[in-house]
């Protein structure tokens, strides 16, 4: 009896199974959040405090702050975004390129926070001595990359209405910039978000020979491989005269 064509239909929620780097990041963030619950002082020691970095040379903080979070909701939403945007990017770029991009965006967000803490404004004094935690800066860099790589992919804004990914990134960046200027106490998080977003965009916009060229090559290669799988393309031998397409 022939199989029904409907038996081949597959349903998938989200971007699919976890990729190696995304899985490792999820585990590391979850483990360190549990460690924070047991040792609250870990937040002050590993969070990004500009005064500690510049005066006490706690140079590990621009990295460790990415793995610490301010609460369960903060952790869950960041990890959900990492899974939603990171899995597909890692599939295209490969684990090494994805991990490098992720950490560079996180470091860019940290640098933005440190520089902002030195500005001659009232909020900078508070920012200079207060720990900043969270993977949001690195994840905003992934969001920028997603908007460039999948410009027309619909994303549901606030889970209500779809907008193209490039428009979603522009709206998110504009809101983040506005909040960083107007909010009375949340400049720390917003500046880190904005720093990660801009770092991701700048990395992608670098000239020939830079990361953008490498990631574009990986994206093109991924699309070709995907098209071959979709149309069942196999390279033929001498008698086939090139490509066999079924």
Instruction: List the pLDDT tens digit at each of the 246 positions of the chain.
Output: 455 443 444 444 467 789 999 999 999 999 999 999 999 999 999 999 999 999 999 999 999 999 999 889 889 988 988 998 899 899 989 999 999 999 999 999 999 999 988 988 887 888 899 899 999 899 999 988 988 888 788 777 666 778 887 787 778 767 766 665 555 444 456 778 888 988 998 888 774 445 556 566 666 766 777 677 666 544 444 444 433 333
Q: Pseudo-torsion of CA 217, 26, 180, 154, nearest 10°?
A: 50
Q: Residue 4 carries which DSSP code?
A: P
Q: Give CB contacts under 8 A, 24+ apart, made by 3-7.
A: none
* Domains by residue range for the chain, with CATH: 16-229 (1.20.1540.10)
Q: Which helix (H) or strand (E) holds 156?
A: strand 154-157
Measured over the CA atoms of residue 166, residue 171, residue 174 and residue 175, the dihedral's sign is: negative
Reported pTM? 0.76
Tokens of 211: 């990361």
For 160, the 3-state DSSP assignment is coil
Residues whose CB falls within 8 Å of the CB of residue 2, separated by 6 or more in sequence, listed in order: none
């Amino acid at each position: 009896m022939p199989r029904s064509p409907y038996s081949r239909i597959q349903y998938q929620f989200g971007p699919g199974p976890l990729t190696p780097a995304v899985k490792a990041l999820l585990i590391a963030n979850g483990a360190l959040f549990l460690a924070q619950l047991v040792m609250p002082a870990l937040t002050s020691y590993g969070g990004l405090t500009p005064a500690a970095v510049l005066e006490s040379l706690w140079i590990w903080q621009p990295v460790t702050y990415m793995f610490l979070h301010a609460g369960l909701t903060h952790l869950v939403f960041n990890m959900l975004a990492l899974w939603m945007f990171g899995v597909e990017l890692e599939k295209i770029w490969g684990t090494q390129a994805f991990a490098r991009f992720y950490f560079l965006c996180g470091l860019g967000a940290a640098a933005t926070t440190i520089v902002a803490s030195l500005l001659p404004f009232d909020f900078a004094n508070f920012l200079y001595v207060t720990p900043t935690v969270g993977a949001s800066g690195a994840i905003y860099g992934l969001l920028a990359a997603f908007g460039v790589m999948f410009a027309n992919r619909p994303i549901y804004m606030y889970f209500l209405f779809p907008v193209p990914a490039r428009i979603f990134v522009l709206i998110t960046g504009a809101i983040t910039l506005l909040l960083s200027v107007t909010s009375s106490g949340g400049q720390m998080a917003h500046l880190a978000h904005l720093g990660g977003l801009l770092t991701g965009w700048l990395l992608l916009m670098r000239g020939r020979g830079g990361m953008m060229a490498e990631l574009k090559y990986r994206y093109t290669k991924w699309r070709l491989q995907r098209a071959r799988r979709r149309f069942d393309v196999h390279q033929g031998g001498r008698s086939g005269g090139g490509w066999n397409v079924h």
